[in-house]
Structure 1
Amino acid sequence: MHGPDASGWSLVALCVVTGAHGLLRMRSGVGEQRRAAGGEALMGFGMAVMAVPAAAFSPPWWVWSGFAVVFGAAGLRALWDARTDAHQLHHLVGAGAMVYMAAVMAGSAGRPHAGTSAGVPLLTGALLLYFVGYVLLSGARLVPVPAGPGRAAGTGDAVARGTGWGERPELARACRLSMGIAMLIMLLTL
């Protein structure tokens, strides 16, 4: 594999791993965490399919239309859940980005590099700005906070509490960061 194919397959692998981690997190005993993990698993696997290089898999337009329907339904679910959980707004934006990319791919199915490049469309630019901010914020949340006065080192550590590695919050944050970066890459190549 050379060039874009190699980076495309790397992106596929990253998205599959984050989707698989979402599936593992769905075993949580907390319903809210299961729903969020399910949405992230759907996003990870959906992004993996979208990232497969066109030389390996170039589906017809109706497959991308099906993606738009699936992620449209996921967006409606996120909108409904946003009444009680503000994090669902991020899932709403992510599902909207997936619908947008599926619609673009459906429009260009069977026509590689159709049209001319007239710059970045407004919606793509807005999504890029959102995901740049999300990636920066998610990355900042992964930076460890040093122990201060009155706070013991390792307080709140999932390993110290004896929970499984699939329920560690830092892994969930790292997966969200990875999906944010993958979304940026996919939007840049759109």
Structure 2
Amino acid sequence: MHGPASPGWLLVALCAASGAYCLLRMRSGVEEQRRAAGSEAVMGFAMAAMAVPAAVFSPPAWAWPGYALVFGVAALRSLWWARTSAHHLHHSVGAAAMVYMSVVMTLSPGSPGGHHHAHGGSGAPLLTGALLLYFAGYVLASGARLVPAAAAPASGAGAVPGGAGAVTGWGDRPELARACRLSMGMAMVAMLLTL
């Protein structure tokens, strides 16, 4: 994480904006969407914090094990909720990736607290590669889902805006949630590349 300043700040902005939008999605009337949005908000803000350039802020020694603990609990929670929604499996993989990156940062050589400033060589190449493949595939699949489909024909003159199946608020729009997930997937790929 903590690479060069300019890309680091762009990553911070992207993750923080995604986390903020996910907080807004937590106001949804759909319980499953609120639950997913909460997990994604935590992930977005934590990724933003991890991406802050090292020249600006070097976390204390306890921060990386703290991240690992928080995301270990989040991974277990997401596994529990995966019984009802397959999307929570993705949350589990994301939280496990955050645990992995936190452990790598704890154990990597460098400044106090295991904070490394150099790129490469600190993670397990096979695990890092597997996570990179997973998130690259997730990014491609998420991007494909954002491609607009052919417009559906109007359902007749009697169609009522706001009827069954209509979107009630901009926070409930599925394409915005997908764009948020896509941006966090890209951020995860960028963070894994720095290990």
TM-score over 0.5 for the alignment? yes
Q: For the residues of structure 1 that align with 2:36 and 2:132, how far apart are their CA atoms?
A: 22
The answer to whether 1:127 aligns with 2:119 is no
| Amino acid corresponding to residue 169 of structure 2 in structure 1 | G
Q: For the residues of structure 1 that align with 2:119 and 2:17, how far apart are their CA atoms?
A: 34
Q: Percent identity?
A: 68
The answer to whether 1:187 aligns with 2:181 is no
Q: For the residues of structure 1 that align with 2:166 and 2:118, how far apart are their CA atoms?
A: 54
CA apart distance, 1:61: 2.5
> Which consecutive unaligned segments of at least 5 residues does structure 1 have?
none
CA apart distance, 1:184: 0.2
1:55-107 deviation digits (Å, cap 9, x = unpaired): 11111231110000001010000010011111110000000000000111112
- Answer yes or no: is the 8 Å Cα contact 1:60–1:106 preserved in 2: no
Q: For the residues of structure 2 that align with 1:131 and 1:115, how far apart are their CA atoms?
A: 19
- How high is the TM-score relative to the length of structure 1? 0.88
> Which consecutive unaligned segments of at least 5 residues does structure 2 have?
none
The answer to whether 1:29 aligns with 2:33 is no
Q: For the residues of structure 1 that align with 2:37 and 2:119, how far apart are their CA atoms?
A: 38
- Answer yes or no: is the 8 Å Cα contact 1:61–1:105 preserved in 2: no
2:173 is matched with which residue?
Answer: 168
Q: For the residues of structure 2 that align with 1:162 and 1:85, how far apart are their CA atoms?
A: 21
- Answer yes or no: is the 8 Å Cα contact 2:104–2:122 preserved in 1: no
| Amino acid corresponding to residue 163 of structure 1 in structure 2 | T
1:41 is matched with which residue?
Answer: 41
1:56 is matched with which residue?
Answer: 56
Give SS of 1:61's match. Answer: coil
Give SS of 2:53's match. Answer: coil
Q: For the residues of structure 1 that align with 2:118 and 2:46, how far apart are their CA atoms?
A: 24
- Answer yes or no: is the 8 Å Cα contact 2:54–2:117 preserved in 1: no
- Answer yes or no: is the 8 Å Cα contact 1:135–1:181 preserved in 2: yes
Q: For the residues of structure 2 that align with 1:45 and 1:118, how far apart are their CA atoms?
A: 24
CA apart distance, 1:8: 0.2
- Answer yes or no: is the 8 Å Cα contact 1:26–1:38 preserved in 2: yes
2:140 is matched with which residue?
Answer: 136
| Amino acid corresponding to residue 25 of structure 1 in structure 2 | R
- Answer yes or no: is the 8 Å Cα contact 1:61–1:107 preserved in 2: no
Query: With CA pairs under 8 Å and 6+ residues apart, which has the higher RCO, 1 or 2?
Result: 2
Aligned-pair Cα RMSD in Å = 2.5
CA apart distance, 1:120: 6.3
- How high is the TM-score relative to the length of structure 2? 0.86
Count of residues in correspondence between the two structures: 183
CA apart distance, 1:113: 4.6
Change (3 A) 1:106 1:174: same
Q: For the residues of structure 2 that align with 1:162 and 1:87, how far apart are their CA atoms?
A: 20
Q: For the residues of structure 2 that align with 1:136 and 1:114, how far apart are their CA atoms?
A: 28
